[in-house]
Amino acid sequence: MAFISSGYNPDKPMENRITDIGPRHFDEFLPPVIKKNKGKWAYHEILEPGILLHVADSGDKVYTVRVGAARLMSISHIREICDIADKYCGGHLRFTTRNNVEFMVGTEDEAKALKKELNGRKFAGGSHKFPVGGTGAGVTNIVHTQGWVHCHTPATDASGTVKATMDAVFEEFTNMRLPAPVRIAMACCLNMCGAVHCSDIAILGIHRKPPMIDHEHLDNMCEVPLAVAACPTGAIRPTKTDFQGKQVATVAVKQERCMFCGNCYTMCPSMPLADKEGDGIAIMVGGKISNRITRPAFSKVVVPFIPNEPPRWPSMTKVIKKILDAYSKDARKYERLGDWANRIGWERFFEKCDLEFSHHLIDDFRDPAYYTWRQTTQFKF
Amino acid sequence: MAKHKTPLLDQLESGPWPSFVSDIKQECENRAKNAKGVDYQIPADCPDDLLGVLEMSYVDGETHWKHGGIVGVFGYGGGVIGRYCDQPEMFPGVAHFHTVRVNQPSGLYYTTEFLRQLCDLWELRGSGLTNMHGSTGDIVLLGTTTPQLEEIFYELTHKLNNDLGGSGSNLRTPSCCLGQSRCEFACIDTQQLCFDLTNTYQDELHRPAFPYKFKFKVDGCPNGCVAAIARSDFSIIGTWRDEIRIDQKAVAAYVGGEIKPNAGAHAGRDWGKFDIQKEVVDRCPSGCMRYEGGKLEINNKECVRCMHCINTMPRALKIGNDRGASILCGAKAPILDGPQMSSLLIPFIKVEEPYDEIKEVIENIWDWWMEEGKNRERLGETMKRLSFQKLLEVTNQKADARHVREPRHNPYIFWKEEEVTGGWQRDIADYRKKHQK
């Protein structure tokens, strides 16, 4: 391997340097029919799962074929997407905010032919490369985080749990038979880079063991005051300890106060908390972002812990399937998962989903906790 | 032949959903074959080693990535996430595995020409693996080595005419829904606003000067496809303040079954004949609709713009013409003080270039938050700590009943001295003249 210079001169880093130019202007990337009719779209229709029609005031039509994708994507795969877009879409395509890919064509026949072709393309291992779907009242693609592929704080993997879940609910991706859209999200620790806090169903990696303390290196690797300040419950204090006959500056953790957020580890690498037995998954449900009918809502924890079971997390997918099936059977048209649970009551939700309610599910974190307790005699037997 | 045995990951190749394992394996093969004779600038077997280290995590149940690492490009304090493997001897191809965040185009439209250029760059100087896209919206180029960072940045800016995104305690890459480009519900040009804000605040995006991260997200309507209300410190959500436009003929067509309700979104199940009373009028959260004598009436003054009727009958009902945005502040995920949704600050603001009015609000908030915010405190937490009233004060907004879901439950009002007749200075001697000890 010979080093290939881009033109950058390390001795003169400011020479010809271009900075602060921002992204390319989106106009450069819009397909002609989109550019022409921007701001003048009249209506849309989902013709069949995965195929959308948008009609402009001008009468122009654009047909969109939506396909699922793993957001961890190789350049080989992106090049294949480009080949398809070059062949059918004049060299244009777009991604959705939920990691789907959209191919836009001019006629319904082209869209249907493209759907067939896309559904026919498979990876060597047998899975779809471009499953068409993700529209309307169904399950669309999962927004998620990095997990064991790239992150330093995860309590589980992201790509694997997502693949296992989407395999389990695949029929709902290619159909539109649920009462309302179901948005599933995945975050591999409490930082929630995947923002699962407002999803119909959320898969969340959690830790359950307090951090270990690497006394040997802590003082060199961390700023003790930052580690102390990082703890939301004040469980960490500075201290000194004997390490191999030498006094070292370090921290002490009041373990019973730990809420396993991992914020100390983010600030101080000498306080790792990942652990095979301690880590696993919590399931949250009933969040939403849309203002449709009801207000946006937070997800609620309904299963406090499921052990990590790589590679396919069968206990986790079983729980998700159970919740989805109960919702599908019982909810009214247009009712989001959380609205359904609110209507029937959460005591019924646990019954209908065949989930156990335990003390872990009662909020005890600061003021908002009180507002989740029941201050009424209205409840169901 | 695979470099590492991955029996656990191999089980993720079956099943219908696209397998990231199969995709990584495809990249391994293509790099091994190297049909184009690329002089790879980082180890060619980098994706193989990624599978290897991931398999190890699947066995161990623990991650093998070390905590951070301060790497980046000259003059920027964000855009690159340093990452090192904690088993570099076993997996030298991913010993360094830094991520490069590339600022995505608003609305996520691409030409294949641009994507192919990006692929070529990442084939030569990176792992060949990406995220399309990261949670905040960036194009994420996953895995390269330190010596490549400046080279990648140089090519990105010189050849692709594109900049890095944000990371760390700075403005994160703003993002938006596709807006008016292909959606009839969009009340504002989300793409242009997002692009403009991104470029106006390049300094804040690249050079961390904030207490913590700060996110802008722009949604075109209250449906919220980019999750602004849940995921951004400064949420801009398109809305209107006049009347929903009604096409009574199209209403009749929905009632008569000539047009599929909800744009066909429920077509996969037999929900029975469309019932406008039950499915639209009775579902209206503010009860502002009436259907009588074949005519739909909306009392627009009472409408809360939830979008349900418009979503259900998009050919009959259209957003109003007097359009702008609501601005809400303070959303974040749970770390540390629990999850927060954005709270309404400005019920309606016009969204017109050069967006000076919006920028004034942003800059007032930043001035306050940079002064008062604690280290690693998100705006929403500063608001909770110092009060919503303070946010109103620094943004020069007058309190409005729309700011609350309901008035306060306690009478512990922090009166200010100037609000109380006669002020607070009193003489105890005068008091004692009237009141014995």
Q: Supply the pLDDT for residue B427.
A: 96
Residue B336 confidence class, pLDDT cut points 50, 70, 90: confident
Contact flag A82-B115 (C-beta cutoff 8 Å): yes
- Stated pTM of the model: 0.97
DSSP A198: G
Residue A337 confidence class, pLDDT cut points 50, 70, 90: very high
* Chain A closest-CA separation from residue B271 CA (Å): 8
* Complex ipTM value: 0.97
- Crossing angle of helices A75-88 and B112-125, in 10° steps, is 160
DSSP A110: H
Contact flag B184-A160 (C-beta cutoff 8 Å): no
Residue B67 confidence class, pLDDT cut points 50, 70, 90: confident
Q: Are B237 and A290 in contact (CB under 8 A)?
A: no
For residue B305, the chain A residues in CB contact (below 8 A) are 291
Q: Are B27 and B129 in contact (CB under 8 A)?
A: yes
Residue A1 confidence class, pLDDT cut points 50, 70, 90: confident
Residue A368 confidence class, pLDDT cut points 50, 70, 90: confident
Assess B222–A contact: CB distance below 8 Å, yes or no: yes
Contact flag A73-B129 (C-beta cutoff 8 Å): yes
Per-residue pLDDT of B195-227, as tens digits, reads: 999 999 999 999 999 999 999 999 999 999 999
Residue B397 confidence class, pLDDT cut points 50, 70, 90: very high
For residue A125, the chain B residues in CB contact (below 8 A) are 10, 13-14, 19, 21-22, 25
Residue of B57, B312, B341 with shortest CB distance to A148: B57
Per-residue pLDDT of B20-44, as tens digits, reads: 999 999 999 999 999 999 999 999 9
Structure tokens at A354: 């065949």
User: How much of chain A exceeds pLDDT 70, in percent?
Assistant: 100
Per-residue pLDDT of A300-325, as tens digits, reads: 999 999 999 999 999 999 999 999 99
Instruction: Tally Cβ neighbours within 10 Å of residue B7.
Output: 10
- CB-based contacts of B9, cutoff 8 Å, min separation 6: A160, A311, B21, B51, B54, B55, B58
> Which of A44, A76, A151 best probes binding to B when mutated, by most B CB atoms within 10 angstroms?
A76
A275: nearest CA partner in chain B: B62
- Residue B257's alpha-carbon distances to A121, B250, B279, B282, in angstroms, are 37, 10, 14, 19
Contact flag B265-A261 (C-beta cutoff 8 Å): no
Contact flag A46-B265 (C-beta cutoff 8 Å): yes
Per-residue pLDDT of A69-90, as tens digits, reads: 999 999 999 999 999 999 999 9
Q: Supply the pLDDT for residue B430.
A: 96
pLDDT, mean of residues A98-126: 97
pLDDT, mean of residues A61-73: 98
